[in-house]
C-alpha cells in the first residue's frame, strides 16, 4: 500500500461513503473501532482483507496500516480511542485487526457515540463507559473473532489459483484442476494454503465466496442470484453458511 498517510489521532465521527469509494492506506497513533451501519465495509491491511456487514465491527489497533472501501451506500461509524487504553482486554491488546460481533445494544451505542463527537457532557462520558463495557463483552464472546480475514497469498503459484477464484467464485474445479491451470501440484498448493492462509483450500474458498456474496448483497442483488453466482448449489445452502458465519440471514442483511 503506497503513500501511507499518518493521521496521529483516530477520529470519532460518522460519515457516508458512496459505493466504491475508498479511503487510502493510512495509520493512526490511536486505536479505532470501525463499523458499517449500512452497506458493507472492506478493510485491507498487509495481512489480508476483512469484510464487515452490520453484525460485525472491526478493531484496528494503533499503528496498523489500513485502507477502507465501501460496497453499497456505506454509513461509516468511527470510534477513536487512545493507544494507552485496552478496552478489549489486558494491555497491549490485540496486535492485529480483530473482528467483533455487534448486537443491537452495541450497534446503538456506536451510532449514538459517533453522532456527536464534540460533545463533552457527563451524559456522553457515561455513554462512553457503557460502550467500552460492551466492547469488552463482545471481545470475550465466542463469536468475537469471526469471520477471519481473507489472507493475501505471497507465493505466486498460490496467488495464481486465488486469482482464478476471485475472477469466478462459482468455479467448481477441485484444487488439482486449478493447480494444473496455474502450473502447480495439488500437494504443493494444499501445503501453501495451510502455511500462508492458516486454512485448508475448502475453508479459504468458502471464505472467498462469503466475501463476494457480501459485495453482491450490498449492491441489492437477490439472494438466489447471489447464491448461484458465488458457487452454492441452492439458496438454502447459501443461507445456512451465511447464517453460521454472520449470525443472520442474507435477506436480513439486505433489508438492513
The residues spanned by each domain of the chain are: 5-140, 153-255
Percent of the chain with pLDDT over 90: 46
Measure the CA–CA gap between 112 and 102, rounded to whole angstroms.
14
Q: Which CATH architecture has domain 153-255?
A: Orthogonal Bundle (1.10)
Given this model, what pLDDT does residue 53 score? Answer: 81
The tens digit of pLDDT for each residue in 10-44 reads 789 999 999 889 999 999 999 999 999 888 888 88
What CATH number does the domain located at 5-140 have? 2.60.120.810
Q: From CA 67, how far away is CA 76, in angstroms rounded?
A: 13
C-alpha cell at 157: 503459484
Q: Which residue do the cell numbers 475453508 mark?
A: 203
Could you read off the pLDDT of 127-142 as tens digits, one per residue?
A: 989 998 898 888 776 4
Average pLDDT over residues 68-84: 89
> Could you tell me the pTM of the whole model?
0.78
Amino acid at each position: 500500500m503506497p503513500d501511507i498517510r499518518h493521521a496521529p489521532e483516530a477520529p470519532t465521527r460518522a460519515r457516508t461513503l458512496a459505493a466504491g469509494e475508498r479511503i487510502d492506506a493510512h495509520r493512526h497513533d490511536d486505536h479505532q473501532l470501525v463499523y458499517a451501519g449500512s452497506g458493507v465495509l472492506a478493510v485491507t491491511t498487509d495481512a489480508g482483507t476483512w469484510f464487515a456487514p452490520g453484525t460485525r465491527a472491526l478493531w484496528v489497533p494503533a499503528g496498523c496500516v489500513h485502507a477502507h472501501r465501501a460496497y453499497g451506500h456505506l454509513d461509516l461509524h468511527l470510534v477513536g480511542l487512545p493507544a494507552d487504553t485496552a478496552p478489549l482486554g489486558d494491555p497491549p491488546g490485540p496486535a492485529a485487526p480483530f473482528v467483533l460481533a455487534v448486537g443491537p445494544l452495541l450497534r446503538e451505542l456506536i451510532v449514538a457515540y459517533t453522532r456527536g463527537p464534540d460533545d463533552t457532557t457527563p451524559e456522553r462520558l457515561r455513554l462512553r463507559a457503557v460502550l467500552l463495557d460492551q466492547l469488552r463483552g463482545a471481545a470475550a464472546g465466542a463469536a468475537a473473532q469471526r469471520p477471519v480475514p481473507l489472507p493475501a497469498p505471497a507465493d505466486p503459484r498460490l496467488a495464481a489459483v486465488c486469482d482464478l477464484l476471485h475472477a469466478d467464485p462459482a468455479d467448481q474445479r477441485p484444487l488439482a484442476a486449478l493447480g494444473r491451470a496455474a502450473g502447480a501440484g495439488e500437494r504443493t498448493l494444499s501445503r501453501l494454503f495451510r502455511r500462508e492462509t492458516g486454512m485448508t483450500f475448502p475453508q479459504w474458498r468458502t471464505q472467498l465466496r462469503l466475501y463476494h456474496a457480501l459485495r453482491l448483497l450490498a449492491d441489492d442483488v437477490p439472494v438466489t442470484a447471489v447464491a448461484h453466482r458465488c458457487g452454492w448449489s441452492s439458496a438454502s445452502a447459501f443461507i445456512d453458511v451465511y447464517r453460521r458465519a454472520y449470525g443472520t440471514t442474507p435477506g436480513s442483511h439486505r433489508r438492513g
